[in-house]
């Protein structure tokens, strides 16, 4: 009996949509699922460990990996490179493990262009731009200029929702957890993903 390949969950959403909290909650329900660790050229922040939050690599190595097509997707954001190394993702999917990419819209569109057969695209949206602004203000980590930049990016990202397959509107967290969990469970019942249809073979 061959193992069905894992699902490649491609998730995006503006900063302040509550994506990390939501993904954390849903992952706790699906313990076999793995977060993909991105590579970046930005310097580690205090408390960040190489291979945990990111693979911290230098610009030269990153650009060499781009040339060698070793990224599933990559982007330059705020003068730094970010990217998803292809090899570890493929390895997990082949083992039947689901992998979550938490990447920006630019990156997601690259994955989409490649028509990765295992990919499912989920956008995590705030209920509206006003809510997003409030959440970012409450977080209080951004100065005014950065805040304006984040909101500009968010507005652009929201125009790309139509490129995704699912959208989870994170208004009430508990509802959003139920929605995203349902999407995770439902995708496992997709006919096109079923390799071992015993009920067919036996018939």
Q: Which of 80, 155, 173, 195 binds a second copy (CB under 8 A)?
A: 155
Among 42-50, 89-97, 108-116, 122-130, which window interacts with a second copy (CB under 8 A)?
122-130
- Residue range at the interface with a second copy (CB under 8 A); choices 58-66, 70-78, 84-92, 187-195: 187-195
Residue 61, by phi and psi: left (phi above 0), alpha (psi -120 to 50) or beta? alpha
Distance CA 30, CA 201 (A): 28
**Member of 48, 114, 194, 195 binding a second copy (CB under 8 A):** 194
Q: Does residue 200 touch a second copy according to CB under 8 A? A: yes
State the minimum distance, in angstroms, from the CB of residue 24 to a second copy.
19
Buried-exposed string 21-40: b where 16+ CB fall within 10 A, e elsewhere: ebbebbbeeeeebbebbbbb
Rounded to an integer, what distance in angstroms lies between the CA atom of residue 106 and that of residue 73? 9
* Residue 21, SS3 per DSSP: helix
Min CB(128)–a second copy separation in Å = 4
The answer to whether residue 189 forms part of the interface with a second copy (CB under 8 A) is yes
Decide: 8 and 116 in contact? Cβ < 8 Å.
Answer: yes
168 binds a second copy (CB under 8 A): yes
Listed residue (21, 12, 19, 14) closest to 130, CA to CA: 14
Q: Does 178 bind a second copy (CB under 8 A)?
A: yes
Interface with a second copy (CB under 8 A): 123, 125-130, 154-155, 158-159, 161-162, 164-169, 178-179, 181-191, 194, 197-200, 202-203
């Amino acid at each position: 009996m061959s193992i069905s390949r894992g699902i490649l969950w491609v998730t995006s959403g503006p900063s302040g949509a509550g994506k990390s909290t939501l993904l954390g909650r849903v992952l706790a329900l699906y313990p076999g699922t793995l977060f993909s660790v991105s590579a970046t050229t930005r310097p580690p922040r205090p408390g960040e460990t190489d291979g945990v939050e990111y693979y911290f690599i230098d610009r030269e190595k990153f650009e060499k990996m781009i040339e060698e097509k070793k990224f599933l997707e990559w982007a330059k954001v705020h003068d730094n490179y970010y990217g998803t190394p292809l090899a570890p993702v493929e390895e997990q999917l082949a083992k039947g493990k689901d992998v979550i990419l938490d990447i920006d819209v630019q990156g997601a569109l690259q994955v989409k262009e490649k028509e990765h057969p295992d990919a499912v695209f989920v956008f995590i949206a705030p209920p509206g731009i006003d809510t997003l602004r409030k959440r970012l203000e409450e977080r209080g980590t951004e100065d005014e200029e950065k805040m304006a930049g984040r909101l500009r990016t968010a507005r652009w990202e929201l125009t790309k929702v139509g490129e995704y397959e699912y959208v989870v509107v994170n208004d009430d967290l508990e509802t959003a957890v139920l929605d995203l969990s349902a999407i995770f469970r439902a995708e496992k019942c997709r006919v096109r993903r079923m390799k071992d249809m015993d009920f067919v073979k036996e018939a």
